[in-house]
Amino acid sequence: MEITNIETIPGKTITTHFGLVCGSTVRSKNAFKDIGASFKNMFGGELKNYTRLLEETRQEAINRMIEQARAIGANAIVNVRFATSDVAAGAAEIYIYGTAVRVE
């Protein structure tokens, strides 16, 4: 599956347009990681546990979008965008969407 945030796949022609596909997941913070993060906030630096959590969350949302695109016969997704939102205290959604197409 080719995925891009631009309108086309360079060197390929879009032959079929399937429409919008998306993937999302909602994740909450871990109380134990919050304790470590609060100490890091006092002294500064990267919150590595949260960085890993967000990487895993983005990948899960991407995988769900790819599954949806494959199910309808697409072999590429163009115009891909990410969005985030707070769902509840300590929980956030990662949402990814794009246009499923077939390219040759």
User: What domains can you pick out in the chain, each with its CATH number?
Assistant: 2-103 (3.30.110.70)
pLDDT at residue number 41: 60
Q: What pLDDT, in 10s, does the model give residues 11-50?
A: 999 999 999 999 999 988 765 555 555 555 666 777 787 8
Amino acid at residue number 47: L
Average pLDDT of the chain, as a whole number: 88
State how far the Cα of 96 lies from the Cα of 61, in Å rounded to an integer: 6
Helix (H, G, I), strand (E, B) or coil at 84: strand
Six-digit token pair at 42?
A: 């006092």
Top pLDDT among 44 and 92 is at 92
pLDDT at residue number 40: 54
pLDDT at residue number 83: 96
